[in-house]
């Protein structure tokens, strides 16, 4: 049993191999795209069909939509997703995550460990951190306030800024003894129990192995609950929570041994964690207890959004769209007609849903979806 669980350490590599495959496919199509202008040597090329390229994340702020993806593409829409403007971006590296503090100030992270910042609503960007010789990609970025921010990525990569993104430093994820003290076991055993679902006896036999494995866990997404707690969803069932603004973290007892790719905060301490093969788990008490949600699909779930009327949209690979009408307790499984990977969804107005993924950006038309039973 231990051997099977340890084999999951390859999951991080699998994710990037898949990403590289999607990028390769997109590049093959892109060679036929007409280019509007010649880009500067290190700048992303402005292409008429960039909005149809592989896009990996999106955010809305004051009604504007910003999406990012392959070849350094950043696109902005001020009208809910009808007209898009491509930004000036000083990299051609795939952008994997984006976050905006306000309408003007935003950040994006790249596959080659670059952090970019905009101060004009996304129209122009500057690189504020780059470590391209480090093979660990950055996958997400989030700010606690105007000064303190975190960027996370592969193999336990954690970067932190305390000056609004001017400078970044590498940090070690400080997992405290809180969980261990509660259970009366050691730190090493706590990490194994929280990250891999081992019981106390199993954990005691794998203390040495854990130290090597835990460094290979990919940190996939960071998000804050309505109560201010910060969560990180990671590989191998790993879930971290911080109750003090990111100074220290607790490894929560996970309900699942597979990887978590996304987090959707709801009200209070309620959150949805999205994982491999259609696995979704809900907590209403900050991760102390969990409820598995029946999704009706075996496709990996990646992201989602909650609308003003309370409906929840969850997206995933192979055209997966899940819709909840009851606050995230039950979902109806739909298949998008494109059957392409949908990485996340955003809403500019609380009503309209824009799907972001392998096809670029598409407006969600509920009537055009196929109900799957």
Give the span between the Cα atoms of 252 and 287, in whole angstroms: 7
Residue 371: the pLDDT is 65
Burial letters 141-154, b for 16+ CB under 10 A, else e: bbbbeeebbbbbbb
Give the span between the Cα atoms of 111 and 109, in whole angstroms: 7
Q: Which fold has domain 2-368?
A: Methylamine Dehydrogenase; Chain H (2.130.10)
Residue 35 has pLDDT above 50, yes or no: no
Which of 138, 97, 104 lies closest to 118, judged by CA?
A: 104
DSSP 13: H
Residue 178: the pLDDT is 43
Average pLDDT value for residue range 295-299:
94
Average pLDDT value for residue range 29-56:
67
Average pLDDT value for residue range 294-308:
94
pLDDT tens digit string along 272-284?
A: 999 999 999 999 9
Token pair of 351, please? 């009503």
Residue 355 has pLDDT above 70, yes or no: yes
Q: Which bin fits 54, alpha (ψ -120 to 50), beta or left (φ > 0)?
A: beta
Where exactly are the structural domains of the chain?
2-368
Give the span between the Cα atoms of 276 and 283, in whole angstroms: 18
Planar angle of CA 278, 283, 288, nearest 5 degrees? 125
Residue 195: the pLDDT is 46
Token pair of 264, please? 């959707």
Residue 74 has pLDDT above 60, yes or no: yes
Average pLDDT value for residue range 223-232:
96
Residue 370: the pLDDT is 63
Q: How many CB atoms lie within 10 A of CB 119?
A: 13
Maximum pairwise Cα distance, the chain? 63
Average pLDDT value for residue range 113-129:
95
Give the span between the Cα atoms of 230 and 245, in whole angstroms: 7
Return the higher-pLDDT residue of 254 and 224.
224
Which of 93, 115, 92, 98 lies closest to 59, judged by CA?
A: 98
**Which phi and psi (to 5°) does residue 189 adopt?**
-65, -35
Q: What is the mean pLDDT of the chain?
A: 82
Residue 19: the pLDDT is 54
- Asked which of 7-21, 31-45, 133-147, 330-344 is least confident by mean pLDDT, the reply is 7-21
Contact 81, 354 (CB under 8 A): yes
Which of 226, 238, 116, 242 lies closest to 178, judged by CA?
A: 242
Q: Could you tell me how far CA 21 lies from the centroid of its own chain?
A: 19
- Asked which of 39-48, 162-171, 218-227, 237-246 is least confident by mean pLDDT, the reply is 39-48
SS3 151: strand
Return the higher-pLDDT residue of 289 and 196.
289
Most confident of 42-46, 159-163, 180-184: 159-163
Token pair of 138, please? 């950055």
Please, which pLDDT band fits residue 199 given cuts at 50, 70 and 90?
low
Burial letters 68-93, b for 16+ CB under 10 A, else e: bbbbbbbbbbeebbeebebbbbbbbb
């Amino acid at each position: 049993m231990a051997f099977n669980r340890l084999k999951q350490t390859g999951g991080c590599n699998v994710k990037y191999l898949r990403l590289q495959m999607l990028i390769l496919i997109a590049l093959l199509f892109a060679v036929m795209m007409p280019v509007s202008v010649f880009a500067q040597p290190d700048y992303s090329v402005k292409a008429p069909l960039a909005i149809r390229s592989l896009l990996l994340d999106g955010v809305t702020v004051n009604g504007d939509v910003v999406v990012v993806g392959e070849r350094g593409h950043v696109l902005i829409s001020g009208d809910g997703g009808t007209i898009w403007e491509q930004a000036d971006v000083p990299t051609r590296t795939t952008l994997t995550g984006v976050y905006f503090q306000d309408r003007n100030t935003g950040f994006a992270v790249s596959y080659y460990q670059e952090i970019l910042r905009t101060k004009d609503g996304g129209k122009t960007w500057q690189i504020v951190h780059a470590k391209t010789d480090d093979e660990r990609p950055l996958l997400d970025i989030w700010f606690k306030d105007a000064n303190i921010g975190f960027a996370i990525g592969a193999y336990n990569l954690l970067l932190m800024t305390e000056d609004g993104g001017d400078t970044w430093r590498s940090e070690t994820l400080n997992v405290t003894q809180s969980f261990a003290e509660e259970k009366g076991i050691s730190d090493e055993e706590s990490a194994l129990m929280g990250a891999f679902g081992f019981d106390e006896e199993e954990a005691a036999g794998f203390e040495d192995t854990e130290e090597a494995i835990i460094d290979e866990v990919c940190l996939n997404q960071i998000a804050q609950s309505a109560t201010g707690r910060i969560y990180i969803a990671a590989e191998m069932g790993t879930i971290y929570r911080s109750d003090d603004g990111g100074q220290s973290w607790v490894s929560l007892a996970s309900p699942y041994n597979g990887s978590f790719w996304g987090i959707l905060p709801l009200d209070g301490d309620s959150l949805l964690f999205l994982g491999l093969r259609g696995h979704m788990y809900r907590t209403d008490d900050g991760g102390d207890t969990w409820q598995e949600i029946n999704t009706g699909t075996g496709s990996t779930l990646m992201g989602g959004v909650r609308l003003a009327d309370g409906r929840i949209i969850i997206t995933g690979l192979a055209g997966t769209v899940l819709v909840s009408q009851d606050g995230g307790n039950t979902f109806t499984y739909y298949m998008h007609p494109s059957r392409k990977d949908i990485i996340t969804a955003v809403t500019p107005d609380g009503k309209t849903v824009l799907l972001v993924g392998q096809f670029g950006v598409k407006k969600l038309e509920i009537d055009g979806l196929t109900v799957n039973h």
